[in-house]
Structure 1
Amino acid sequence: QDIKTSPILKSTPPEQIDVISNSQEISPSPKLNTNQPSETSNSLSLDAITQEISIEEEPISTYFTPPQFQGKIVYRIKGSNEDKVIALTFDDGPRSETTPKVLDILRQNNILATFFWIGENLKAYPQIAQQVVAEGHAIGNHTWHHWYDRMDYPTIINEINKTTKLIYETTGIQTSLFRPPGGVLDNGLVDYAKQKNYTIVMWSDDSKDYHPRPANELVKTVIDKAQSGLIVLMHDGGGNRAETIKALPEIIKQLQQLGYRFVTIPELLDMGM
């Protein structure tokens, strides 16, 4: 049965920072499923899925964003021509066939990026996730299943809390970065993330690598839009990313030739203070 409305969580107009476009392209879900997940069946109590993460040891790293970005939607920061920065982000991982190749390219170029993970993929590939963190990259929450449709309140809580909890248990990272699947803002996920003071990280330079396009077109798409302070959307999961892997070294090379340096989302937000 399709989930069309949430009986508890009301959708409110999101607060936004530096909104570049009100009509962001939506990337396809790797597993689009409109059914309510089994984790929130009647046999599972609301209390069981709303428990906060119990921190028994000190986290390896905590991504607490500056106060002005907490509970806000961010597409970019106002960049400087003197210090041209740009943030590479990768969605829908970790995946065994793609994420290690992305890491190799980033390592070879001494670049740090930000990865937004799907919980069920993180569960499947914990060692890859640990490698991502060990190499210094930042991590964000991309929900457990990557569903688009409107969900009921228990499902929303489960999608976000379960993923944040597994990120911590797998890597020792506490993250307050959240990216809604497909950039969908009105299905209840963003409302809940705002209530919990996540920073909702969108994008302002979309590679459109979720469409079947050759690497040279992906490169041109990113380079043509490049400005200081932008957030680039790419993918290391959700489908065949062979062209993304081909395009990434050239994207890095051309951006460096244009004078850009690469930062993580936490670093970018710190510059926006």
Structure 2
Amino acid sequence: MNTKGLFRLPKFVLFGLAALVLTLAVGMAIPIQQNVFSNGLGQSVIASSLAAPATTTQRVTELKKQMMDSWQQEAKQKGVYQEIPKRYQGVTLNAVKPNQNDKIVALTFDDGPWPKYTEQILDILKENNVKGTFFVIGRNMKNFPEIGKRIVTDGHAIANHTWHHWYHRLNPKAAAYEIDATEEIIYKTTGVRTNLFRPPGGVLGNGPAAYAKSKKYSVIMWSADSHDYKRPAVPRLLSNVMRDSKPGGIVLMHDGGGVRDSTVKALPAMIEKFRNSGYRFVTMPEMLEIEDKELQMAKK
């Protein structure tokens, strides 16, 4: 045998031979291990191992449920829990009618998330311990995800305001995209699902609102319009809101889509005026839940 010839083999061949030997050795060892465990005590070990996956799966399922229940309770306490009573699914609302002794009002903001203004509004709400509802535009959520995340982490409710904020009539496919794409970017960014929708400009007959209702969204309009998109002076903006506000009212403001200095300047005084008049602030999901409970009690 020419041993010198063997060592002249290329290195990759030698490595291949070594790998083959190692594979054969491992293959021979596996049956030995199986034989050891197939007798005596080994049988009970195998039996318990086979039963383990079912027990583990059950425990994981229970843990997931506990985590989900805990998350939903925490989200509900923060005001971002999005499940709404069935009576409001697929309907259009301008306001609710709670007990007149319970002076509640919902502050809502459209067209964000938006640099500067959304953040300033969030700061003011946090300073005053107020929770609002933000109707976000899908493409803005995509472009400014960190601001969108903060809306939820600060405990506010988040809602759907279409992807592009178009006013013109849309065919069914385009209308579906406007809402579905926005729903997905909201969930992808914040981890929250929403079934609250507001049509751009309050237009109800151009396609998106009809699609939203077919998907069991509650279409949320408003009862008090700040007209802040006209950039009024602070006293005029406050007058616009307070003049039309009542218990169960929904206030329309904007945190994006343009210059919103008037909104930012007027918001602290607006909060003070409402509180001095005995109002408390709730998110839209909270408002709907409050009225639903009162209606159930009245029915009983």
Question: TM-score, normalized by length of structure 2?
Answer: 0.70
Between Structure 1 and Structure 2, the one with more strand by share is 1
Task: Give, in angstroms, the shift of residue 171 of structure 1.
Answer: 0.2
Match of 2:99 among 70, 77, 80: 80
SS in 2 for 1:200: strand
Correspondence for 1:164: 183
What is the aligned length? 217
For residues 208 and 251 of structure 1, the distance between their equivalents in structure 2, rounded to whole angstroms, comes to: 14
Correspondence for 1:37: none
- 1:123 pairs with 2:142: yes
Amino acid at match of 1:187: N
- 1:268 pairs with 2:283: no
For residues 253 and 86 of structure 2, the distance between their equivalents in structure 1, rounded to whole angstroms, comes to: 27
Task: Give, in angstroms, the shift of residue 79 of structure 1.
Answer: 3.0
Contact preservation (8 Å) 2:107, 2:283: yes
Correspondence for 1:173: 192
Alignment of 1:189-204 (within 5 A): 189-204=208-223
Bigger RCO of structures 1 and 2 (CA < 8 A, at least 6 apart)? 1
For residues 236 and 174 of structure 1, the distance between their equivalents in structure 2, rounded to whole angstroms, comes to: 21
Task: Give, in angstroms, the shift of residue 216 of structure 1.
Answer: 1.2
Correspondence for 1:155: 174
Task: Give, in angstroms, the shift of residue 151 of structure 1.
Answer: 0.7
SS in 1 for 2:105: strand
Correspondence for 1:34: none
Contact preservation (8 Å) 1:92, 1:116: yes
- 1:215 pairs with 2:215: no
- 1:134 pairs with 2:153: yes
Correspondence for 2:3: none
**Following TM superposition, where does structure 1 have runs of at least 4 consecutive aligned residues deviating by more than 2 angstroms?**
57-62
Deviations 1:88-119 (A, max 9, x none): 00000000120010001100110000000000
Alignment of 1:25-64 (within 5 A): 62-64=81-83
Task: Give, in angstroms, the shift of residue 197 of structure 1.
Answer: 0.2
Correspondence for 1:225: 244
Deviations 1:141-200 (A, max 9, x none): 000000001011211111000000000000000000000000000001111111100000
Contact preservation (8 Å) 2:108, 2:135: yes
SS in 2 for 1:174: coil
Task: Give, in angstroms, the shift of residue 210 of structure 1.
Answer: 1.0
Contact preservation (8 Å) 2:231, 2:260: no
Between Structure 1 and Structure 2, the one with more helix by share is 2
For residues 107 and 132 of structure 2, the distance between their equivalents in structure 1, rounded to whole angstroms, comes to: 5
RMSD of the alignment, in Å?
1.4
Task: Give, in angstroms, the shift of residue 272 of structure 1.
Answer: 1.5
Q: Percent identity?
A: 48
Task: Give, in angstroms, the shift of residue 81 of structure 1.
Answer: 3.1
Runs of 5+ unmatched residues, structure 1: 1-56
- 1:66 pairs with 2:95: no
Task: Give, in angstroms, the shift of residue 64 of structure 1.
Answer: 1.6
For residues 207 and 172 of structure 2, the distance between their equivalents in structure 1, rounded to whole angstroms, comes to: 8
SS in 2 for 1:91: strand
Contact preservation (8 Å) 1:137, 1:264: yes
Contact preservation (8 Å) 1:79, 1:227: no
For residues 212 and 96 of structure 1, the distance between their equivalents in structure 2, rounded to whole angstroms, comes to: 18
Amino acid at match of 1:208: H
Correspondence for 2:112: 93
Runs of 5+ unmatched residues, structure 2: 1-66, 76-80, 293-300
SS in 2 for 1:147: coil
For residues 219 and 183 of structure 2, the distance between their equivalents in structure 1, rounded to whole angstroms, comes to: 14
Amino acid at match of 2:184: K
Task: Give, in angstroms, the shift of residue 226 of structure 1.
Answer: 1.6
Correspondence for 1:36: none
